[in-house]
Amino acid sequence: MDDLAGKHIVLGLTGGIACYKAAELCRGFVKEGATVQVVMTDAAAQFITQVTMQALSGRPVFGSQWDAREANNMPHINLSREADAIVIAPCSADFMARLVHGRADELLSLMCLARPIERVPLLLAPAMNREMWAHPATHRNMAQLAQDGATILGVGSGFQACGETGDGRMLEPAELLEDIVAFLQPKPLRGRRVVVTAGPTFEAMDPIRGITNHSSGKMGFAIARAAREAGAEVTLVAGPVHQPTPRGVRRIDVQSARQMLDATVGAVAQADVFVATAAVADWRPAMQSEHKIKKDGSGPPTVAFAENPDILATVAQSDRARSRELFCVGFAAETRDLLANAQAKRARKGIPLLAGNIGQLTFGQDDNQLLLVDEQGTQELPRAPKLQLARTLVAEIARRLAPVRP
Ligand code: CTP
């Protein structure tokens, strides 16, 4: 996808072994459609060469405030003026201290100080040894930087190049990319809480077998990601799927429809929006055997079914949903007559908005097309990657919400 199309990012590298990850991050920015200008400190150049970063960004790298390639000899001014963001990755403990003090004796900190602070955000991806990360001086500096308007992207945990294990590693390039893409998205759901159900449910017959539905969970996970990008606090209630949790999203894993109902009812109590994308099994085996049902020569077992709760309809009938404090969105996976089925389902479930799709056109795929049905009528969202559709759907939901009370 072109998640950063039209964006210009200044990528600053400071001294740390995590510079090797900055190469991958630079590539990620370019793949997502951004133009990238790399600026490196002398210490960064001890870890990775300008040649590598020039090759990956497709632009000459800057490293000195005395660089005469700029006609006015002011790279510290020129380099930030067109930037949509300055990302320092890795950001060393020393560089944070320099930023705190507004130091201006080398190009990168000088450029950060000289950036138009209202319009060019500064994002920091710290990288350091765990003791340095835990030191009060680092925490003091981070608090000051946050107060001065910088965004600190957090750190990872685990094995460190020094041989120690703990917090302070730079986040992985894919994690940073997801966070930076999210940072640059519009924020129509800022201050809202969103709950999403996703994936299938699994209804056990015995400890070995059960019945389930077709669902990769991709659409629901994309909606959770898009809602987080839009500024919401997101809880994702997921059936058994193999999808990575979107960054910054709280995930609750469940198996059965009844577990999904319990987790959802708990989560929606504080929510503003509920989006039900889960392919919930309508029925479950009425009896669940404690042990594996064996072939005993008497032929296959007869399975009786009990009906599962309708999670969406249950939530939609709650007081908060009826008073429109909780905005409910349903999905309908149909195999034919999409419009008529979607309209009937919206009315039956008592929800303001329903997104219909044709099951065969979406199962397991990375793209989909949706038909939105609400009180006013219908709106087609043409075939597109699921994340793009999710972003459009989130914008449509945000547009329909009552303004936040002061
Ligand atoms: N849904 C739910 N709980 C259920 C069944 C469905 O929350 N037990 C939600 C789904 O997450 C989706 C919507 O209801 O948002 C419609 O699901 P779908 O399976 O298309 O509809 P059903 O209610 O099962 O109706 P039918 O089987 O008649 O198509």
Task: Give residue-wise pLDDT tens across range 66-124.
Answer: 999 999 999 999 999 999 999 999 999 999 999 999 999 999 999 999 999 999 999 99
Cβ 20 vs Cβ 42: under 8 Å: no
Beta pairing class for 305-307 and 233-238: unpaired
Report which protein residue has its CA nearest ligand 1's atom 9: 312
Distance CA 253, CA 255 (A): 7
Q: Does residue 405 form part of some domain?
A: no
To the query of whether residue 19 is one of the catalytic residues in this protein, the response is no
Closest among 244, 186, 201, 195 to 395, alpha carbons compared: 186
**Residues in the chain where the model's pLDDT stays below 70:** 405-406
Q: Can you give the CATH number for the domain in which 120 is found? A: 3.40.50.1950
- pLDDT at residue 404 in the model: 73
Same-domain check for residues 167 and 205: no
Q: Does residue 280 form part of some domain?
A: yes
Same-domain check for residues 173 and 198: no
- pLDDT at residue 402 in the model: 76
Same-domain check for residues 60 and 36: yes
Domain end marker among 157, 184, 211 = 184
Count the residues in the chain.
406
Closest among 197, 206, 363 to 284, alpha carbons compared: 206
Q: Does residue 2 form part of some domain?
A: no
pLDDT digits (tens, 9 = 90+) for 196-213: 999 999 999 999 999 999
Same-domain check for residues 150 and 210: no
Domain end marker among 184, 219, 253 = 184
H-run or E-run covering 374: strand 367-374
Q: Does residue 3 form part of some domain?
A: no
Q: Best mutation site among 195, 345, 360 for ligand 1, i.e. most ligand atoms within 8 A of its Cβ?
A: 345
Q: Is residue 331 classed as helix, strand or coil in its secondary structure?
A: strand
Q: Best mutation site among 262, 282, 357, 360 for ligand 1, i.e. most ligand atoms within 8 A of its Cβ?
A: 282
Q: Best mutation site among 195, 211, 212, 310 for ligand 1, i.e. most ligand atoms within 8 A of its Cβ?
A: 310
Same-domain check for residues 215 and 166: no
Q: Does residue 92 form part of some domain?
A: yes
Same-domain check for residues 36 and 54: yes
Structure tokens at 55: 């090759």
Q: Does residue 406 form part of some domain?
A: no
Ligand 1 centroid distance, CA of 158 (Å) = 41
Ligand 1 centroid distance, CA of 362 (Å) = 16
CA 378 → CA 105, 146, 348, distances in Å? 59, 44, 17
Report which protein residue has its CA nearest ligand 1's atom 21: 332
Distance CA 83, CA 130 (A): 32
- 228: Cα separation from own chain's centroid: 6
- pLDDT at residue 305 in the model: 96
Candidate list 19, 26, 91, 162, residue with the active-site label = 162
Q: Does residue 327 form part of some domain?
A: yes
Structurally, the chain folds into a number of domains equal to 2
Ligand 1 centroid distance, CA of 305 (Å) = 17
**354 CA: nearest ligand 1 atom:** 15
- Owning domain of residue 37: 8-184
Domain end marker among 129, 154, 184 = 184
- pLDDT at residue 405 in the model: 66
H-run or E-run covering 323: none
Residue found by looking up tokens 């709760």 in the block: 309
- 292: Cα separation from own chain's centroid: 40
Ligand 1 centroid distance, CA of 279 (Å) = 7
Same-domain check for residues 126 and 164: yes
Measured from CB, residues less than 6 Å from any atom of ligand 1 are 197, 257, 276-278, 280, 282, 308, 310-312, 330-333, 345
- pLDDT at residue 358 in the model: 81
Q: Does residue 149 form part of some domain?
A: yes
Ligand 1 centroid distance, CA of 47 (Å) = 54
Q: Can you give the CATH number for the domain in which 396 is found? A: 3.40.50.10300
Same-domain check for residues 248 and 370: yes
- pLDDT at residue 306 in the model: 97
- pLDDT at residue 406 in the model: 62
Residue found by looking up tokens 């009812």 in the block: 265
Same-domain check for residues 81 and 210: no
Report which protein residue has its CA nearest ligand 1's atom 12: 331
